[in-house]
Structures are given as C-alpha cells and as structure tokens.
A and B are shown apart, each in its own frame.
Chain A
Amino acid sequence: MEKKTVVVKIKRQEALEAKPHWEEYHIPYRPYLNVILLLQEIRKNPKTFDGTPTSPVAWESSCLEEVCGICTMVINGRVRQACSTLVDEIGMNVTIEPMRKFPVQRDLVVDRSFLFETLKRVKAWSPIDGTHNLGPGPRIASEEQQENYWLSRCFSCGCCLDVCPQVNDRSDFIGAMAINQVKMFNAHPIGKGLAKERLRSLMAEGGIEDCGNAQNCVKACPKEIPLVNSIAKINREITLNLLDLLKK
C-alpha cells in the first residue's frame, strides 16, 4: 500500500514584530493523529519537506484534552484547540497559523494577557476575602446551578475574541468571554455583591456597546457556551439599571 503523507504548512515568526514566513513539512500519516502530534513529529526532526534543517516550531500545550485552552491556534483557517483537532477529521492538508488577535511572540505562541486584563476589568470573582469566617454560602437552586455550570466551562482560550470582527486594533472591545463571566458572577448569590460594578465596567470604554452582533463567538466556542444569550442577558440587566443612574 502507498504510504500516505500529511502536508503541514506552518506560519512561522522569529520574534515579536518579526516578519512571518511559511514553512512546509511532510509527516507520515497514521490513524488518530492530532495537530499536537504533528507538531511533536516536526520537533523530533526539524526539517522542512525538502530536507532543509530548520529550527523547531514553538508552540504551547498543556492538558491535551481541551480543558486548558493553551494550544489554541488557527488550523485550516479556523481558530480551535490543536489537541482536539484530528487529521482524520480535517484532511491531509493542514495549515497552522498563530491566533490572529493576539501579539505573536514566536511561531504559534501568542501573548493572551489581554484576556486576563478583561477579567480584571469586570471583576470576575466572588468577593469573599475577609478577616473572619463568613460561614457557609447560600444555597443555589439546582436549575440555576445547571445554567451557570454551563457558563463556567469557559477556559479562557480566546477563540471568541479571535473570531470577533469587533476585536481589532481600532477598538478596545472587551469581548464575549468577559461578558459571559459577568453574566455568571452576577447570577451567583455571593458574586452578586459586585453586580453593579460589573455592569458599569461593561458600560465603560470598550464595553458591551462595541458588540456588533456578528455572533461568531458562539460558533467558535469549543465549550458551546451560549455567549449570545449571555450578552443579551447583560444588555437586559443594563437596560433595567439605566434609570438607577438618575438617582444621584
């Protein structure tokens, strides 16, 4: 039987701000290959398809089971996790690029600290720090738990921002991820303590008003979080709070 080859093209970049270039590699096919395995094969023997030695490709990965989000990259044009992308599913031609909306540090490694900044902007935590024991938390109805559990599956991979036409160098848009966190924490009995601050933080520069309703976020989310529902729900909370702004 003829030996099958996976043709891998990778967009490489030496360092931040460096000019990117493309390299092609040929990897022997075997069943169940995922993109991480392809990258490992290239690392084992860093040569382009014509045998020219090259530097090993830099990339990040950790959990290898689509729960850490670190190996997020653009594969065949679509942003997704390398670990859960199978060659059997996407075909024998694999094009790999770094994420599009974050600064590329080297090859497929991007700086996603913007995501952490957005979480800080909206105070995505429950305020429980104190000097004394606060006792057990309030009970949450099972139905609410189910709904919020789904939202909590977010692992900050950044896919929703990468596909968003409103996230770019001409806008400060905070993105769907942080808005979803506001929805989740504002629905939590302890998290609620900061509800007004969170809503206001989404009315600040680059807040929820920059959402253009393209709804790519919900399509791209690997955890199938209903991000458009979360955005609309926060829009409703803000609408209902508008009159409160007049009370001062």
Chain B
Amino acid sequence: MDANDIKISPHFWLRRLHSLSGVFPIGAFLLEHMFSNALIIKGPAAYNEQIAFLSGLPYVIWLEIFFIYLPILFHAFYGFYVMFTGKSNLIWYPYPANWMYFLQRASGVITFVYVFYHFYHTRGVNLLYGTEVSFARMQELMKNPAIFWFYIVGLLAVMFHFANGLWGFFISWGITIGPKSRAVSGVLCAGLGITLFVVGVNSLIHLIP
C-alpha cells in the first residue's frame, strides 16, 4: 500500500488551521490592539488620532474581514467543536496540565462572550448606527463599574487563552518537543500573557476620570 492511499482527515487541516489562526492573525491583531489601547495613557488626543489612523487605513473593511472577523469566527466555532470532542475528567485527575486543558476551554467560552459584547459596543454600533467610537465613548462605558469589571474578567480570559494557547501551539507544531523547552516556553508565554494583561488593565484604569 502506498502512503498516499491513506486519506487525510479534513479535521487534521482544520485543527492545524485553528492552532495557526490563534497565533496569526488573531494573536498578531491582539498585540496591535493592546498597543493601540495603550495610547490611552498618552491622553485623548493620541488615542483618537490612533483610531483615526486605523479607520483610515486603505482597504480597511477587507483587512478587518480577512484578518480579524473571519479568523475569529472560525477559531471560535471550530473551538466549540473541539470542546465538544472532549470530556474533562478533572475530578479524577486534578493535574496541573489537565487544569490548563479545562481552563483553555472555559476561557475560550468567556472570551467568546466578551469579544462579542466588546465588538458590538465598540465597532458594531459604529457600523449599525454610525456612533463615533472615541476616548470619550470608552470613558462613558467604563463609568459603569459592571462594564469595567466585565472588561477586566474578559481581558483575563483573553490573555490566559492566548498565553496557554501559544504554549500549546509550540507543542502542536512540534517546536517544543522536550520538557526543558516546554518549561522555557511556559515561562515566556506566561510572561507575555501577564504583560499584556497588565498593559490592558492599565489602559482601562486610565479611562476612569
């Protein structure tokens, strides 16, 4: 029998694409997004200027569709399918990596809800009603402590999902094949996740007058 006779499952490609899409473009977008948000600490003018710059990019709607919306929708819905194929057994085996397996899925669900809400209030309203998204609008939203804390929880879920997902990405693509390299990548991924979370929280705090 020839090796080529063995049929490759579509799920093989989808799962690899799922893993890749989390890093690029979604992870790359996340970095850009956190950097742009950080301009909040430079004051309203700098932040509004950045919004104007980003929304003034050529082909901006296509960039959004192909590098943000479609990858996130694919990652989310295929992620739900992946979640469905597993059955957590933390009760019997409460090992650290098994916790990570569970939390990766839990944080994915929280992220889905959070990102949908966040998208609606910061982009959806603009597309639907032409509401201007600016420093002032974000400040208005953050005045409500419920929204502020929801953002903190959402941010935490996003950063955990990204950092732990990146750690898993290095295993799924065969980059970290030994315990030492996995420990090093664990420290680096955790460091990146914590840094992005702190940067995000700092931006949110600067929105409170």
| A interface with B by C-beta (< 8 Å) | 77-78, 163, 165-166, 168, 170-171, 173, 196-197, 199-201, 203-207, 209-216, 219-220, 226, 228-229, 231-240, 245, 248
User: Is B176 an interface residue, CB under 8 A from the partner?
Assistant: yes
Q: Known contacts A213-B101, A232-B176: does B92 contact A78 (CB below 8 Å)?
A: yes
29 intermolecular pairs with C-beta atoms under 8 Å apart: A77-B92, A78-B92, A165-B86, A165-B88, A165-B89, A165-B101, A170-B86, A170-B87, A171-B86, A197-B3, A200-B3, A205-B9, A209-B11, A209-B16, A210-B85, A212-B101, A213-B104, A214-B86, A216-B89, A216-B95, A219-B93, A219-B97, A229-B177, A231-B171, A232-B174, A233-B174, A233-B177, A235-B177, A236-B173
User: Is B60 an interface residue, CB under 8 A from the partner?
Assistant: no
Partner of A78, one of B12, B86, B93, B104: B93
Interface string of B157-187 (1 = CB under 8 A from A): 0000000000010011111111100100000
A204 to B173, CA, bound (A): 17
Partner of A235, one of B7, B92, B173, B179: B173
Residue of A at shortest CB range from B99? A214
Whether A203 and B8, one on each chain, are in contact in the complex, defined by CB atoms closer than 8 angstroms, is: yes
Task: Give how many B residues have a beta carbon under 8 Å from the other chain's beta carbons.
Answer: 37
Whether B101 and A214, one on each chain, are in contact in the complex, defined by CB atoms closer than 8 angstroms, is: yes
| B interface with A by C-beta (< 8 Å) | 1, 3-4, 6-9, 11-12, 15-16, 82, 84-89, 92-93, 95, 97-98, 100-101, 104, 168, 171-179, 182
